[in-house]
Structure 1
Amino acid sequence: MSMKLPLVLGSSSVFRRAQLERLGVVFQTASPDFDETPLAGETAADTALRLAEGKARSLAAAFPQALIIGADQVAWCQNRQLGKPMSVAKAQQMLHELSGQEIEFYSAIVLLNTVTGRICCHVDKTVVKMRSLSSEQICRYLEREPDAVYCAGAAKSEGLGAALLERIDSSDPNALIGLPLFKLVEFLAEEGWAVV
């Protein structure tokens, strides 16, 4: 490729922005405009991938000559999708329900080339085993980690949320934070973007 296309992170997530910054690549961020409501009968992996792709495509008109990264994460436990609690009360309830449970996190990443229309997609599955938590532990955690209300499943694993976890099984430890970087580096290389 003769010219390297500009890179756009289609996300308002400060966590994903920090992850991409750690790669040392030049990029800009844009907030996608896409309905994130899950569809009836949709699997968690399908929801994550549809939302990641929808977010990327929602920015295509604004960035007609760019590589747009779309990402989304859906948590699944006890036969239902878990969203972001968005309030302390909902986070407390969610963590009580997740105490001692295994949770599956599906982290989707999409790279859309708005010049060629090519799209690369991947969904990473991470399985997390939560410790058994008391009401006091949950309250102390949410007091000390207020951003957890913006995380799927209310557990911010890269912060104090690590104390809530017993085990993480994943092929990419970055995926649980929200951006599967191993696959992103591969997708970027395919588009002529060498990270290293």
Structure 2
Amino acid sequence: MAATALPVVLASTSTFRRKQLQTWGLPFECAAPEYDETPLAGEAAAGTARRLAAGKARSLAARFPACLIIGADQVAWSGGRQLGKPMTPERAQTMLESLSGQSIVFYSAVCLLNTATGRLHEHTDTTVVQMRRFDRATVARYLQREPDAMYCAGGAKSEALGSALIERIDSSDPNALIGLPLLRLADFLAAEGVCIV
């Protein structure tokens, strides 16, 4: 069991991020952040991800004093536009069809806020995903078998059946594409006195 100096809070309701953090056996609590996730005009995708991760963590600071709050956000970019979470099967179908054979850049930001000291650690991981070429019928079959994909940026759940739609992934942290860059988060927690192993 991991040892912690301060209580750890994950500023997210994402089941994907919760499962990722649970792999460490680290005691933590989940809390829903209250932060407007609308991208700002002219804001770069990486900047959006970083701002939202920090904003989510800071939104819980008053509620969780003397805690370590983990904030995270992911923005997908392809074809000169940000790709959000489709949220409906119809939008997921359209989005994935447009991504056939395309390259997607995922910016996965993570931060750790120590609310006792105000210290903030931040990192944004860049993952490049090359999608295979696939047709409309393939996308429809995929979404029927993987309905949670509509809650993933870009519409492809890479850690499950969505991997069959992907040709190549280039990243320094294989966890980042799922939504939580664990390799850098381990460094941040260690700097705040949390022993993972």
TM-score clears 0.5: yes
Q: C-alpha deviations, 1:118-153, integer Å up to 9, x for none?
A: 000000000000001111100000000000000000
Match of 2:15 in 1: 14
Q: C-alpha deviations, 1:95-115, integer Å up to 9, x for none?
A: 011110000000000000000
In 1, the alpha carbon distance for the partners of 2:24 and 2:108 equals 18
* 1:37-186 alignment, distance < 5 Å: 37-186=38-187
Structure 2 runs not aligned, ≥5 long: none
* Secondary structure in structure 2 of the residue aligned to 1:24: coil
Which consecutive aligned stretches of 4+ in structure 1 deviate over 3 angstroms post-superposition? none
* Secondary structure in structure 1 of the residue aligned to 2:101: coil
Of all paired residues, the percent bearing the same amino acid is 65
What amino acid maps onto 2:136 in structure 1?
A: S
The answer on 1:195 being equivalent to 2:196 is yes
In 2, the alpha carbon distance for the partners of 1:192 and 1:90 equals 43
Match of 1:36 in 2: 37
What amino acid maps onto 2:96 in structure 1?
A: L
Query: Cα RMSD between the aligned structures?
Result: 0.7
What amino acid maps onto 1:25 in structure 2?
A: L
In 1, the alpha carbon distance for the partners of 2:49 and 2:134 equals 28
What amino acid maps onto 1:27 in structure 2?
A: F
Q: C-alpha deviations, 1:47-75, integer Å up to 9, x for none?
A: 00000000000000000110000000000
What amino acid maps onto 2:33 in structure 1?
A: P
* Secondary structure in structure 2 of the residue aligned to 1:182: helix
In 1, the alpha carbon distance for the partners of 2:77 and 2:37 equals 16
What amino acid maps onto 1:195 in structure 2?
A: I
In 1, the alpha carbon distance for the partners of 2:24 and 2:156 equals 24
What amino acid maps onto 1:61 in structure 2?
A: A
The TM-score with structure 1 as length reference comes to 0.98
* Secondary structure in structure 1 of the residue aligned to 2:25: coil
* Secondary structure in structure 1 of the residue aligned to 2:93: helix
What amino acid maps onto 2:120 in structure 1?
A: I
In 2, the alpha carbon distance for the partners of 1:184 and 1:143 equals 34
Shift of 1:194: 1.1
Structure 1 runs not aligned, ≥5 long: none
